[in-house]
Amino acid sequence: MGHKMSSSGIPPVVPDSLISADDGRRYWSGVEPDVNGMLGGFPAVSRIDLRSSGSFLAKLGLGRTKGAKNVKRALEGGAGIGRITEGLLLDVAESVDIVEPIAKFTAALEGRAGVGRVYNVGLEDWRPEDGVAYDLVWNQWCLGHLTDLQLVAYLKRCAAALSVGEDGKTKGVVVVKENLSTTTVDLFDEMDSSVTRRDETFRRIFEDAGLSIVRTELQNGFPHDLYPVRMYALKPKTT
């Protein structure tokens, strides 16, 4: 069988092929560097979001042990103004590195206690430094700006930078927390040049990146007019 064709005889457009990094960064460069801007006019969901994320990490054994942080080093991909870094990750991690292409968003994080390296590059261009290992890589509301192929490659880089325990097994975890399409297709958003993927698409991408889902949960408590949000905890497949 050949490629599926539309009724006009033209192959259907794959949503992620419409993504433009320049258009996405142009959009975000015009957004105010505050929680309202980061959350698209829904700042009230931040507290619910952070609480649920903290609970999810606790179920993974990441957080505090007898009051001490048990995550040595974390990374937040697509961090924006560091809402999650400041509201969650610094509470569980000794230090947090940040990847965020819009420099005005990360300006206030420079020199902040606990914030390590700030990479002002897109996720598709980020490369982990040699010898650096992360116990946690957190990605939320940013992966829609990567094409499927870019996302597979990015997740592979994240996996390669995860910490390994004394038993030689991967100790670190990659977390993906993203909106889900509720239709039968992935949805392209022209406004910010991003794609809202289906659960099935994410699972295929994780498979292609060599990752297994070790835990997944739906976010509860958000307004019903927002997309559903799902959290995935991922580790490299064991051979």
- Per-residue pLDDT, 11: 58
Helices (H), 2-128: 21-29, 35-38, 45-59, 83-84, 90-92, 103-106
pLDDT, mean over the chain: 92
Tell me the pLDDT tens digit for each residue of 4-21: 333 445 556 799 999 999
Close Cβ partners of 183 (under 8 Å, ≥ 6 residues apart)? 198
Band of pLDDT at residue 1, cut at 50, 70 and 90? very low
Tell me the pLDDT tens digit for each residue of 183-238: 999 999 999 999 999 999 999 999 999 999 999 999 999 998 899 999 999 999 98
- Per-residue pLDDT, 42: 77
Handedness of CA 102, 141, 21, 131 (dihedral sign): positive
Strand 115-119 to 194-196 pairing? unpaired
- Per-residue pLDDT, 207: 98
Residue 157 DSSP symbol: H
CATH code, residues 15-236: 3.40.50.150
- Per-residue pLDDT, 239: 52
| Mean pLDDT, rounded, for 105-115 | 92
Residue 226 DSSP symbol: S
pTM score: 0.93
Are 157 and 129 within 8 A, CB to CB?
Answer: no
Q: Is the pLDDT of residue 102 over 50?
A: yes
Q: Tell me how far apart the alpha carbons of residues 37 and 23 are, in angstroms, rounded to a whole number.
A: 17
Q: Is the pLDDT of residue 41 over 80?
A: no
DSSP per-residue string spanning 125-171: T--PPTT--BSEEEEES-GGGS-HHHHHHHHHHHHHTB-B-TTSSB-
Tell me the pLDDT tens digit for each residue of 137-172: 999 999 999 999 999 999 999 999 999 999 999 999
- Per-residue pLDDT, 65: 83
Q: What is the residue extent of each domain of the chain?
A: 15-236
